[in-house]
Structure 1
Amino acid sequence: MAGGMQVDTKRRRSLMICSCLTSAFLLSALLIFGSALFLRDYNKQSLFGLQTIDVIKTTTFKTMCERKCMPDGSETLPRGIVARTSDLEMRQLWGPSIQKKSKSPMNLLAIAVGIKQKGNVDKIVKKFPQTQFVVMLFHYDGKVDGWKDLEWSSHAIHVSAINQTKWWFAKRFLHPDVVAEYDYIFLWDEDIGVENFHVGRYLSIIKEEGLQISQPAIDPYKSEVHHKITARERSSKVHRRVVNLRAAGRMCYENSTEPPCTGWVEMMAPVFSRESWRCSWYMIQSDLIHAWGLDFQLGYCSQGNRTENIGIVDSEYVVHYGFPTLGGSAVNKTSSEAQGQTSKTGTLPDQRSTVRKRSYVELEIFKNRWKKAVREDKCWSDPFQSQ
């Protein structure tokens, strides 16, 4: 009896121990499994958080990179090697590979020239100091070698293309990124008299007056004046408008706000700031080489109010001789030139009238293109419409 009771007690103890061990095992397993689930969820959340941070960082970095646009075609290059602009400064073949840039502000004088106006062009260029100006000649007659004897010729940039206008040259060789180093661009004809013109004083005046687009006034007694606004006013330093109540065409009043009454310069001797030239260059049409009509729209490139930022400088004035050059008449040609250009009848055709006719045709084409561009660009609004 006593032996049986002892066996039962041992059995109960064994069962209790097994039960406790089983419970402990199950509890341990539950804790381990629960911990595993927790750690897995935590790791998932942590990994998701890290991935989210990485995505945000990547997106932000990508956005920052895209914010600073690279020029077309340079996307595969490291940003630091991309040279966005150029200049017309000549470099020597020997000596230091990197030259220090001039401390003086540099400007550009560009002139369309023919050999017959060589003497007058020489006078013009000598008015522009080499320390402040780069000179660029557009040779429309191809006779580049005829200029070699001038002392400044070797320092000038010479570009040659037969029978092309200065606007044809300007569109192709004065891209804004090429002339971005120059404060002002003087885009002049060759038949300008500069006896009463001082470029240093002129630059000082247009800076003081805030003129983005300008021209020297024209001496009305010695010049061919096409629009009254360009005529010199003796008692004035600068004028920005004209009152003309007797005009055969458009009359100008005190409150006129449109060209050619205000906000206008003629195209024989315009001067552009760097910013205004960048805008104006885009308006020049590659196939309309006479650029007629462009002068009436230059106000849109005046960097603000065209009635204030465009003007005529009276105190520094010039003479416009109005010599016919491209398509000139027979009297302006030498006998040797005439022999090579005579027609079957033995006469030299006067092409000046046909050139003028082409100019009027281009004027109408440009005006129609402007109207079409305004009509089709739904995002554009005319800043001068309310004036």
Structure 2
Amino acid sequence: MVLHCSIRLQSTRRKKVPMLSDSKTRSCLYTLFIVASLFCGAYFINSTVIAKEYKDRLIRLGASETMRNKDSMRCKDDCRPSGSEHLPKGIVVETSNLEMQPLWGPIKNYKNTTPAMNLLALAVGIKQKEIVNRLVQKFPSKDFVVMLFHYDGVVDDWKNFTWSERAIHVSAVNQTKWWFAKRFLHPDIVAEYGYIFLWDEDLGVENFDPNRYLSIVQGDGLEISQPALDPVKSAVHQPITARRKRSKLHRRMYKFKGSGRCDENSTAPPCVGWVEMMAPVFSRIAWRCVWHMIQNDLIHAWGLDMLLGYCAQGDRTQKVGVVDAEYIVHLGLPTLGAGLKNQASAQS
């Protein structure tokens, strides 16, 4: 705002001195006073509103922080493992692992001072002994714990392998890989391992390196995966699992003819976000989810493969994939005692 106040110069005998007329001076000062009052009032009101809003925000933040602290304190009591409520703080151990411990002597003298970071679990029968031996030897002992589920009850005949002594042997006759997994691979038990390989026994691993495989899986953010199958030597049941040459990995397949078409717009299995149940690999967090879906009466777990994407920790089209660079051969041999059962039926 520009105020125009007329100034009249009056002459005196000695020098020229600017003089303000009384009426116009009062008008100018009055106008300035009104403007200044308006500015001050607006500033005061605005400051009051801002102060109140800031105060309210601090109150809300304080209440939110108080609620978080209360929830944290409540969780210290309510979130404790069932059965440990009466134990003193500091002695509750929520997780365990499958690491072997010495039967005698101080633990500090135990040779295995660096625990393995991943788990290989296999359902095995003695008839596939040599195949399993070649498979296990591909997994370095410093990086993998080996756990064998003996569905035929034969355990001692594996002792001639040097790695058998460090492996964990679990025997239950005529039980499947999924029965063993539900009973013995609880997420809290295997929480120490980054990845769980839950494989069948009839797999050829000549072109497979587990550490290079995990490097790809980690680099591309796969939570659920499997190595691709050699399309020439393998029994391939689903096209998405077949290896693609000159490819590191793939997450979807394409089918443009017949029923069940798959294209770039497909968002569901078996077109995308799908692995087979013979050689799945789960991240720790994905396995914690998958374990809850397993029923202990599953045999081959057909149908469960369509649901694994729920446990992919995000977009199944990105978090589930088949690794082509490290591939295996699915031999398609009778497993889980199927051969023995069929032979007995034929003789009866």
Structure 2 counterpart of 1:66:
74
Return closer, same or farther for 1:232/1:246 CA change in 2, 3 Å cut-off. same
Deviation at 1:163, TM superposition (A): 1.1
Structure 2 counterpart of 1:251:
261
Deviation at 1:272, TM superposition (A): 0.3
Deviation at 1:287, TM superposition (A): 3.1
Amino acid at match of 2:275: V
- TM-score scaled to structure 2, two decimals? 0.75
2:253 to 242, 263, 266: 242
1:153 to 151, 164, 167: 164
Deviation at 1:267, TM superposition (A): 0.6
Alpha-carbon contact 1:139-1:161 (below 8 Å) kept:
yes
* Structure 1: runs of 5+ lacking an equivalent: 1-58, 350-387
Structure 2 counterpart of 1:348:
347
1-side partners of 2:278 and 2:153: how far apart?
21
2:224 to 200, 210, 213: 213
1:178-327 alignment, distance < 5 Å:
178-246=189-257, 249-327=259-337
CA RMSD of aligned residues (A): 2.2
CA-to-aligned-CA distance 1:209-238 (integer Å, 9 cap, x gap): 111000000001111111100000002101
2-side partners of 1:104 and 1:157: how far apart?
14
Deviating beyond 6 angstroms after TM superposition, the runs of 4 or more aligned structure 1 residues are: 59-62
Deviation at 1:64, TM superposition (A): 4.5
Amino acid at match of 2:94: R
Amino acid at match of 1:195: E
Structure 1 counterpart of 2:8:
none
Larger Rg: 1
Deviation at 1:65, TM superposition (A): 3.3
Structure 2 counterpart of 1:91:
101
2-side partners of 1:240 and 1:313: how far apart?
9
Deviation at 1:94, TM superposition (A): 2.2
1-side partners of 2:339 and 2:178: how far apart?
22
Amino acid at match of 2:332: G
Q: Give the 3-state SS of the residue equivalent to 2:212 in structure 1.
A: helix
Tell which has more relative contact order, 1 or 2 (C-alpha 8 A, sep 6+): 2
Structure 2 counterpart of 1:31:
none
Amino acid at match of 2:151: Y
Matched, 1:140 2:151: yes
Return closer, same or farther for 1:172/1:60 CA change in 2, 3 Å cut-off. closer
2-side partners of 1:62 and 1:121: how far apart?
53
Q: Give the 3-state SS of the residue equivalent to 2:180 in structure 1.
A: helix
Q: Give the 3-state SS of the residue equivalent to 1:80 in structure 2.
A: coil
Return closer, same or farther for 1:196/1:133 CA change in 2, 3 Å cut-off. same
- TM-score scaled to structure 1, two decimals? 0.68
Alpha-carbon contact 1:105-1:183 (below 8 Å) kept:
no
1-side partners of 2:315 and 2:113: how far apart?
33
Deviation at 1:275, TM superposition (A): 0.3
Identity of aligned residues (%): 63
Deviation at 1:186, TM superposition (A): 0.3
Deviation at 1:66, TM superposition (A): 1.8
Alpha-carbon contact 1:263-1:310 (below 8 Å) kept:
yes
Q: Give the 3-state SS of the residue equivalent to 1:300 in structure 2.
A: helix
Return closer, same or farther for 1:286/1:201 CA change in 2, 3 Å cut-off. same
Q: Give the 3-state SS of the residue equivalent to 1:280 in structure 2.
A: helix
Alpha-carbon contact 2:151-2:337 (below 8 Å) kept:
no
Deviation at 1:79, TM superposition (A): 2.5
Structure 1 counterpart of 2:20:
none
1:167 to 170, 178, 194: 178
Deviation at 1:96, TM superposition (A): 2.0
1-side partners of 2:70 and 2:264: how far apart?
55
Amino acid at match of 1:268: M
1:361-376 alignment, distance < 5 Å:
none
Return closer, same or farther for 1:245/1:327 CA change in 2, 3 Å cut-off. farther
Return closer, same or farther for 1:75/1:299 CA change in 2, 3 Å cut-off. same
Return closer, same or farther for 1:65/1:216 CA change in 2, 3 Å cut-off. same
2-side partners of 1:116 and 1:101: how far apart?
31
2-side partners of 1:259 and 1:60: how far apart?
40
CA-to-aligned-CA distance 1:45-101 (integer Å, 9 cap, x gap): xxxxxxxxxxxxxx9997643223111111011131111011111100222246698
* Structure 2: runs of 5+ lacking an equivalent: 1-66
CA-to-aligned-CA distance 1:308-339 (integer Å, 9 cap, x gap): 01100001000001111235346x98xxxx6x
